[in-house]
Amino acid sequence: MKRSDATKQALLRAARDEFAEYGLAGARVDRIAEAAGVNKERIYGLFGSKDKLFDVILIDTMREFLDVVQPLTETDPGRYVAKLFDYHNHNPQLLRLLLWEGLHRGVDAHDIDGWRAQHYEQKFDRAIDQFGVDARFAGHLLLALCGMSNWSLAVPQTTRLLLGDAAEDRDATREFMQEFARAAMQNFPRAYQRREPAAEPVNALTTEERGDAPEPDPDTTLDPDAAVDRAAQRLRAAQAAAEAARDELAAALRDAHATGASANQLARRVSGTLSRPVVLKLLAD
């Protein structure tokens, strides 16, 4: 490797560390120069400005991510989420750079030679084939899958508040997200098909067809006041059942705690049903 190439690589490594740690506004060119063993003028001569250096670092880090993970080849949503989670868990700098960019620039995503725009166009188009979704939902699907894999790593404080000690078990978090993504995708087509309007007007049924048609939902034939009363009655019954189930669970938790189960263990077992603070309060009462 030429000395000039080695110098540039040292600059890129130092700049990535600096920007990931302090962001675009907080990063200092003199610290980057010192870490790379060059003077500041060398950095400005190569990249022009701190903003342009940040752009180079971000695109370079995104390219590295694609080389390692190759997410556009994955067709299983669970493995897709797991790959993203594993990469960002072990290589946090890309996620940090993207968060810093969003904080500093908002929706203004800088590009270099159109690479970034082309990458996201390919990502959008591939999602249609990868996961068999309609083009109308490809972007939202990618946001959901990426958010699912990244959010717990982006906001560790929120993860800790929601999961308690279980936040340290990232393998369990990864496994949950992986299975959740698969389950969500299995139900996703039915969900959006229900929202699609009819392509053509529906013809009137014949007498024979009407004979096979299901009975109308009685709730849809009630007058508005009666429908409200019935819906309220159902909600009250559901609330009473939920309250009874909660009392039953609270009693079971106290019994298990009395026989030696720790509060943290019990909180993990009912995760998604009761939050950890609620479990601790129930056990303290």
pLDDT band, residue 105 (cuts 50/70/90): very high
**pLDDT for 74:** 75
Amino acid 75 reads T
**pLDDT for 191:** 46
In eight-state DSSP terms, residue 238 is H
**pLDDT for 281:** 76
Measured CA to CA in angstroms, residue 36 lies from 4, 18, 39, 40 at distances of 12, 11, 9, 10
Whole-number percent of the chain with pLDDT over 90: 50
In eight-state DSSP terms, residue 199 is S
CA atoms of 210 and 256, how far apart (whole Å): 56
The conformational region for residue 15 under phi > 0 = left, psi -120 to 50 = alpha, else beta, is alpha
**pLDDT for 75:** 80
Q: Which long-range contacts (CB under 8 A, 24 or more apart) does 154-160 make?
A: 154/95, 154/99
pLDDT band, residue 234 (cuts 50/70/90): confident
- Domains, the chain, ranges and CATH? 50-192 (1.10.357), 226-284 (no CATH)
Radius of gyration for the chain, computed over Cα atoms and rounded to the nearest angstrom: 27
pLDDT digits (tens, 9 = 90+) for 139-198: 999 999 999 999 999 999 999 999 999 999 999 999 999 999 999 888 775 444 444 444
Helices within 40-92 (DSSP H only): 40-47, 50-69, 77-90
**pLDDT for 36:** 94
In eight-state DSSP terms, residue 112 is S
- b/e string for 245-284 if b means 16 or more Cβ within 10 A? eeeeebeebeeebeeeeebeebbbebbeebbbeebbebbe
pLDDT digits (tens, 9 = 90+) for 79-89: 999 999 999 99
**pLDDT for 244:** 77
Q: Which residue has the higher pLDDT, 191 or 232?
A: 232
142 contact partners, CB below 8 Å, separation of at least 6: 123, 124, 127
**pLDDT for 23:** 96
For residue 243, what is the enclosing H or E element?
Answer: helix 224-258
Cut 0.75: pTM above it = no
Q: What angle do CA 156, 86, 78 make, to 5 degrees?
A: 105
Tokens, residue 107:
């929706």
pLDDT band, residue 203 (cuts 50/70/90): very low
| Residue 44 predicted with pLDDT over 60 | yes
CA atoms of 10 and 38, how far apart (whole Å): 9
pLDDT digits (tens, 9 = 90+) for 31-42: 999 999 999 999
**pLDDT for 91:** 95
- For 220-237, what is the mean pLDDT? 67
Measured CA to CA in angstroms, residue 106 lies from 30, 90, 99, 100, 101 at distances of 26, 26, 10, 9, 7
| Residue 207 predicted with pLDDT over 50 | no
Q: What angle do CA 170, 174, 175 make, to 5 degrees?
A: 120
pLDDT digits (tens, 9 = 90+) for 110-140: 999 999 999 999 988 888 888 888 888 889 9
CA atoms of 147 and 175, how far apart (whole Å): 15
Note whether 173 and 149 are within 8 A (CB). Answer: no
Nearest to 54 by CA among 27, 82, 92: 27
Q: Which residue has the higher pLDDT, 274 or 256?
A: 256
CA atoms of 26 and 74, how far apart (whole Å): 37
